[in-house]
Amino acid sequence: MSGSVLEIKNLHVSIEDKQILKGVDLTIKGGEFHAIMGPNGTGKSTLASAIMGHPLYEITEGSITLDGEDVLEMEVDERAKAGLFLAMQYPSEISGVTTSDFLRSAINAKREEGDEIPLMEFIKELDETLDFLEIDKSMATRYLNEGFSGGEKKRNEILQLMLLKPAIGILDEIDSGLDIDALKVVSKGINKLRDENFGTLIITHYQRLLNYITPDYVHVMMQGRVVKSGGPELAKRLEAEGYEWIKEELGIEDETIEQNA
Amino acid sequence: MTVETKLSFDKAYVEQFSKDRNEPEWMQKFRLDAIEQAESLEMPKPDKTKIRNWNFTAFNHDFKTGEAVSSIKDLPEELRDFFDEDKAPENLIIQRNHSVAYATLRDDLKEKGVVFTDIHTAIHEHADLVQKYFMTEDGVSVSEHKLTALHAALVNGGVFLYVPENLEIETPIQSIFWQEDPEITLVNHVLVVVDKNSSITYVENYISHNEEHETVANIITEVYALDGAKVAYGAVDNFAAATTTYVNRRGIASRDATIDWALGQMNDGNTVSENVTRLVGDNSTSQAKAVSVGRGKQTQNFTSVMHHDGKASDGFILQRGVMTEGSAAIFNAIGKIEHGGTKANSEQESRVLMLSEKARGDANPILLIDEDDVTAGHAASVGRVDPLQVYYLKSRGLSEEEAQRLLIHGFLDPVVSQLPIESVKQQLRQVIERKIN
C-alpha cells in the first residue's frame, strides 16, 4: 500500500455557535504536499483543529475520512493512531513530563502491548533526530514545552512529527515566529519525510516557507472555504501580487469570517 | 486473641506500660506528667477541617513485637519495593509492629559516633541526648495539645538518630515503620539530631494494612539541625484506610543550617498533618515540599508552616494535592516572620488538582509578618485538568486515561523527584499510581 488518503468533503465547522468553515473540500494523498494559504482570519487553523478533533470545534456538516474510515467518529487519540498528526501553532506546556518520557509514551501508544520500542533503539533514534534538527540534547530531559522559546516549541513539534511518522501530517503555521535559520531547519525536517507514504497539509500565511518546501498543490482559503487551488506557481503569484486579485476575481470584499458571520 | 480498645489511659496504665519496658525513672516520670496534662488539654484545631468526630484517643495500645529477619531478602515482596535489591541499604532500621526486625549501620559511621537506634534503646543508652531533645519547649512540647501529651505518655515506637559534628554522610539513612498487625496503634517518635556542620539524608516509610479494623497513628518527628548542619528528610506515609492519623513533623534549624523536606503523604485514612519548620538561626533555610493524593471518602488537613526567627532566613513551602472520588483536603500554608527576622524571605505555593465532581479541596495561603525589611510571596490555585493539555497529549496517540495519568504524575513530580532514594521514589510513584486509578 502506498500512502493514505485523507478526504474532506463539504466541511462545516463552528465554534461556540459561530460558523467558521462553510464547506471545505480537500483531498490529500500519500506523497502529496499541499499548502493552504490565505490571510488571517479565514479559517485555516480551524480546518487543522477540526481534522484533529479539538474539543472546542463542532462539525455541523460534511465529512472527513482517512482511507475510507470516518475520522469524525474517532476520538482524538484514535485519529492519531489511524495516522494523523497535527503540529500545533500553540502546543501545550506539560509540566513534570520530560520530552523524552512523553515521546516514548507516544511512540508506544501506537504500538501493540508487548511490542514497545526497545529503550536503546529509542534513545538512538531520538539522538539522531535531535542532531538532524539541530536541537540541543538537553531538550530531551526538559519538561515538554515548559519554558521553551517559540522556536524551540516549533522544532519540538517537528521532532515529534519525525519520530511518530504519521501517514498525514498537518502543520499549522509551523513557520510563525521562526527566524530564517530555524525556518531552514524545520523545512529540512519536513522535506526529509517526503516519500510516497507521507502526505502533508502545510498551513501558512507567508509564502517564505514555500521557498524551502515545494508544494505540489496550493489552496487559498477565504471566508471559510477553499476559493482557489493551483500548483506551486499560485504561491509565487500570491507572493508577488498579494491576495487582492483573487478577491477581485471572485467578487469578495472582505475575505475574513468575522464580517461575514 | 481479642484485643482491647481502651477508651482512656490513666496514670496506672502508663506507669505499668513504662515498667513493662524497664524504662528509667526519668522516662516514667515524663510519661506520667504527660498523661496528667493530656486529661485537661484540648484537641488541636486544624484550620478549616472539623475533627470533632474523629477518634484519636481510644485505641488498643498493646505493645506488640514483630518477628525479626536476618536478611532483607526474608521480607515480604511488598516491603522489598522500598530497596534496591542489588544494593542493600547500609543504614536501615525496619520496625515491625513495635519492635526492630532488622537493623544495620555502617561500621565506619558507628566508629565516628553516629547513633541510629530504636527509641526504646535510645532511652536506655543515650539518655542524656534524648532528655535534651525529646519533646522540649524548643521542639514539639508535651503541652501543645491533647495529642502531643498523649503521644508523650504513650510513645511505643520510633528511632533516634544522632550525627556528631563535622560529618558529611552521603549514604542515605532509612527507616521503615511497618504495621504488620492491623489491630495495633502506632505512637511513633522520630528524633533526629545533626550536630554542627554535618549533613545527612534520611528517608522513612510508614505502611499498614488495616483496610477494615479502625486504629490510630500518632506520629511526631523532631529534627534538630545545629549550626551549619544540613538535613534532607524524605518520607512516604501510607497508612491504610482505617487508620486515623495525626502526624507532626517539626524541624528546628540553627544558624546557617538547612532542613529540606520531601513528603509523600499518601495515607488512605483521615489525616491531620503538620509540618512546621522553625528557622531559628540567622541564614537558616528550608524547603518544605509535600504531595498528597486523596481518594475514597477520606478527609485530610495539611498545614505547612515556615516560622522565621533568624535574620536572612529563607523558607519555601510547596504543596501539591490531587483529589479523586469523594475525598476532601485542606492545604494550609503559613509563612510567619517574627519581629527581628530582618531580610527573611518566605515563599509558598500550594496547588490542588480536582479530578472528580464530588471531591473537595482548598488551598489556604497565609502570611503573618511582624517585620518590615523582609520579602514574601504566595501562590495558590485549585483547578481541574486542562482539557487543552489532554487534547494535546491525545493528539499524539495517548489514550484519555494515559494522558490524565501523565498529567497527574507531572503535576506531582516537583515533589516526588525530590525524594532522595531512587527505590523510595519509585515506590511513591507506584502508590500514586494505585491511588489515581
B395 compared with B70, residue with greater pLDDT: B395
Contact B397 A92 (CB under 8 A): no
Distance (Å) from the alpha carbon of A203 to chain B's nearest alpha carbon:
18
Burial (CB count within 10 angstroms: exposed 0-12, middle 13-18, buried 19+), residue B229: buried
Work out the average pLDDT over B115-131: 97
Burial (CB count within 10 angstroms: exposed 0-12, middle 13-18, buried 19+), residue B3: middle
Q: How far apart are CA A19 and CA B220, in angstroms?
A: 62
Q: What is the pLDDT of residues A156-198, one digit of tens each?
A: 999 999 999 999 999 999 998 899 999 999 999 999 999 999 9
Q: What is the pLDDT of residues B67-83, one digit of tens each?
A: 999 988 888 888 888 88
Banded model confidence at residue B373, pLDDT cuts 50, 70, 90: very high
| Residue in A95, A110, A160 nearest the CB of B411 | A95
Work out the average pLDDT over A81-110: 96
Q: Report helix, strand or coil for A241.
A: helix
pLDDT of B88 reads: 81
pLDDT of B72 reads: 86
Contact A85 B406 (CB under 8 A): no
pLDDT of B232 reads: 97
Contact B389 A85 (CB under 8 A): no
Contact A102 B406 (CB under 8 A): yes
**pLDDT at residue A124 is higher than 70:** yes
Q: How far apart are CA B249 and CA A188, in angstroms?
A: 56
Record the cell numbers describing residue B188, joined without a space. Answer: 511513633
Q: Which residue is listed with cell 511518530?
A: A164
Q: How far is CA B178 from the centre of its chain?
A: 14
**pLDDT at residue A261 is higher than 50:** no
Select from A74, A77, A102, A172 the residue whose CB has the most chain B CBs within 10 Å, as the one to mutate to test that interface. Answer: A77
Domain covering A5-260 assigned CATH 3.40.50.300 in the classification: yes
| Residue in B396, B406, B414 nearest the CB of A160 | B396
Q: How far apart are CA A87 and CA A99, in angstroms?
A: 15
Residues on chain A bordering chain B, Cβ-to-Cβ distance under 8 angstroms: 52-55, 75-77, 79-81, 85-86, 88, 91-92, 94-97, 102, 105-106, 109-110, 143, 160, 164
**pLDDT at residue A145 is higher than 70:** yes
| Chain B CA closest to residue A160 | B396
Tell which residue, B281, B279, B241, B282, has the closest CA to residue B261: B279
Work out the average pLDDT over B363-391: 96
Q: Are strands B271-279 and A168-172 parallel, antiparallel or unpaired?
A: unpaired
The percentage of residues in chain B with a pLDDT greater than 90, rounded to a whole number, is 92
Burial (CB count within 10 angstroms: exposed 0-12, middle 13-18, buried 19+), residue B367: middle
Q: What is the pLDDT of residues B254-276, one digit of tens each?
A: 999 999 999 999 999 999 999 99
Burial (CB count within 10 angstroms: exposed 0-12, middle 13-18, buried 19+), residue A124: exposed
Average pLDDT, chain B: 95
| Residue in B387, B397, B407 nearest the CB of A55 | B387
Q: What is the pLDDT of residues B21-32, one digit of tens each?
A: 999 999 999 999
Work out the average pLDDT over B92-117: 97
Q: Are strands A69-70 and B271-279 parallel, antiparallel or unpaired?
A: unpaired
Q: How far apart are CA A180 and CA B423, in angstroms?
A: 47
For chain B, the domains span 11-385, 386-437
pLDDT of B2 reads: 46
Q: Which amino acid is at A191?
A: N
Banded model confidence at residue A205, pLDDT cuts 50, 70, 90: confident
If one counts every other C-beta atom within 10 angstroms of the C-beta of residue A227, the result is 19
Q: What's this model's pTM, rounded to 2 decimal places?
A: 0.91
Q: Which runs of E-coded beta strand occur in B173-242? A: 173-179, 186-194, 199-208, 215-225, 230-238
Work out the average pLDDT over B334-354: 97
Size of interface A-B (CB pairs under 8 A): 78
Work out the average pLDDT over B292-312: 97
